[in-house]
Structure 1
Amino acid sequence: MGFSEHMKKASLVGAFFVSVFWQIQALAFCPSPGRLSTLEVAQVVDGDTLRLVDGRSVRLIGINTPELGRDGRKAEPFALAARRRLQALVQASDGRVGLVLGQERHDRYGRTLAHAYDAQGRNLEAVLLADGLGFMVAVAPNTRMVACQQRAEQRARQNGLGVWRELKPGSPQSLRRGGFALLEGRVERVERNRGGYWLEMDGPLVVNIPPQALDAFDVRTMTVLAGKRLELRGWVVDRRGRVGAGQARWMLRVTHPAMLELSR
């Protein structure tokens, strides 16, 4: 056997064991809670949304994948890869998935909120996160699996996979439109009022932790955040025209501590 043929065979063997290793890792991140009845999938809409044969749209809990192109905008990097990966996972599961519904069962668009599992018991959100094809998100009250989904994302981030290949968090000053964002900035001031805690960042951004979410946070640490740098993630809202002079144009509402992290 020539050297090139030997290396080719070795690469294939190595790839096989790497693939098996990551499948085992995916099972370890967020294992199935038990035997689940399965439902037939009619369409994979994007990397985090399924449409079932029964007509329901299912928004996967704990992950936000890059946006597909629409309204003249180009698809975000890895949006198509995330959809293709989810399509492949569903196809490999005979087109059926098991669902575990969230504590909050529907979002404001009427979509069913659920965790999805394939025929092997793998959590589909964890597989996508471990492949670097989305961002972990924690939105109360559907936060039961935050810890294992964080571990899945961390695996991708440490290995520079997918969205983590070259991504660096943006700054509050870089905000140009609303929607999901990963940001890093310094906390200038911390205030508390009837609306909860407000972290005023070094730019036109304020982070709000509403009163109903405070039980999940260690509020004793809030006041010492001033001067610290945080990595933030979540959906940014444009408040232009709705706030007074001197107030931040952009707001990011956070309902779980996993969406805030002290910068390293």
Structure 2
Amino acid sequence: MNRNDTAKPRIVPRTVAAVFALLLGVTCARAEAPLDGLTEGPRLTAASVAYAASFDLSDGSRVRLVGIRAPKPDAPPFTGRGEPLGAEAKAFVEAFVRGRALVLYFDANPQDRYGRRLAHVVRDDGAWLQRALLEKGFARVYSLPDNRRGVAAMLAVEDAARRAGRGLWALPEYRVRTAAEVEPGGFQLVEGVVLAQSSGDGPTYLNFGRAWARDFTVRIAPGDRKRFGARMPDYRGKRVRVRGWVFETDGPMIAATHPEQIEILD
């Protein structure tokens, strides 16, 4: 080469440059919080799945998926038997987490009384596990008084799966009960019109029937009313959907600790 000649710069074709940039972007991509206001936690992998809403992590801890309740394949409390679709929901989660990095995101309370991490779980490709379970009909929304962020968004996903009859919504065991037919036992969704609402310094009661001693009732303890706002909402005459554990207390009753448990339908 003549010393007066200058080496021509190498020109990378645009297509090659574009592919390189795309690959770089994928390599640097990271999971993002599925909801505003969550605190990012560690990036881990799953070690073993106990059931769809709870599994062990690579650091030795156990996570409980916050915001949902999924069926258990073994004997859960209050029913004495495995819940329908428990095995299928567990298998779905095992496939979802297998060999993937998972990022935990926390709401106000990051741990329950059993020492489990209460978290939203996002896979390294951005897939949000809670949403995936709700979309497939493998879970129902199950909020807690100190972990309520994003409940409205999750209810919308649940509603779409229920209308489509996917997963557990195709089974009679999980159908939404009416206030007239609901019986004590387990976590249930109940719909009805509130006929009367008590007021005063004691608990607030939402009554769905005329026979207060045996008809379905929702109880809101005085200490929980503050979560409903400065002034207790008036539910009288409204058709609502209530979710929670149904106990026998002068008829079937759900204790509502926060307003997200009560959806106003019309």
Query: What TM-score does the superposition give when structure 2 sets the normalisation length?
Result: 0.72
1:191 to 194, 198, 210: 198
Give the RMSD, CA atoms, in angstroms: 3.1
Q: Are 2:40 and 2:104, in contact at CA under 8 Å, matched by a contact in 1?
A: no
2: CA distance, partners of 1:169 / 1:219: 31
Q: Are 1:30 and 1:149, in contact at CA under 8 Å, matched by a contact in 2?
A: no
- 1:49 and 2:54 are equivalent in the alignment: yes
1: CA distance, partners of 2:100 / 2:48: 9
Q: Indicate the SS of the match to 1:69.
A: coil
Corresponding residue for residue 76 of structure 1: 83
Corresponding residue for residue 205 of structure 1: 216
Q: 1:101 to 1:221 in 2, by over 3 A?
A: closer
1: CA distance, partners of 2:33 / 2:131: 7
2: CA distance, partners of 1:111 / 1:237: 26
Point out where structure 2 has 5 or more consecutive residues left out of the alignment.
1-30
Corresponding residue for residue 182 of structure 1: 189
2:115 to 110, 114, 121: 110
Higher helix share: 1
Q: Are 2:34 and 2:122, in contact at CA under 8 Å, matched by a contact in 1?
A: no
Deviation larger for 135-144 or 101-110: 101-110
Greater gyration radius: 2
Q: How does 1:1-264 map to 2 (within 5 A)?
A: 30=34, 37-70=42-75, 73-91=80-98, 94-165=99-170, 167=172, 168-172=175-179, 174-202=181-209, 203-217=214-228, 222-223=233-234, 225-239=235-249, 248-263=250-265
How many Å apart are 1:162 and its aligned residue?
1.1
Corresponding residue for residue 18 of structure 1: none
Number of aligned residue pairs: 227
Q: 1:41 to 1:183 in 2, by over 3 A?
A: same
1: CA distance, partners of 2:231 / 2:104: 37
1:113-166: CA deviations, max 9, x gaps?
A: 111111112210011011111111222221112132123213312322112235
Query: What TM-score does the superposition give when structure 1 sets the normalisation length?
Result: 0.72
Q: Percent identity?
A: 30
1: CA distance, partners of 2:183 / 2:257: 23
1:64-95: CA deviations, max 9, x gaps?
A: 1123232894432222221111111111xx25
1: CA distance, partners of 2:159 / 2:238: 22
Point out where structure 1 has 5 or more consecutive residues left out of the alignment.
1-26, 240-247
How many Å apart are 1:208 and its aligned residue?
2.1
Q: Are 2:100 and 2:124, in contact at CA under 8 Å, matched by a contact in 1?
A: no
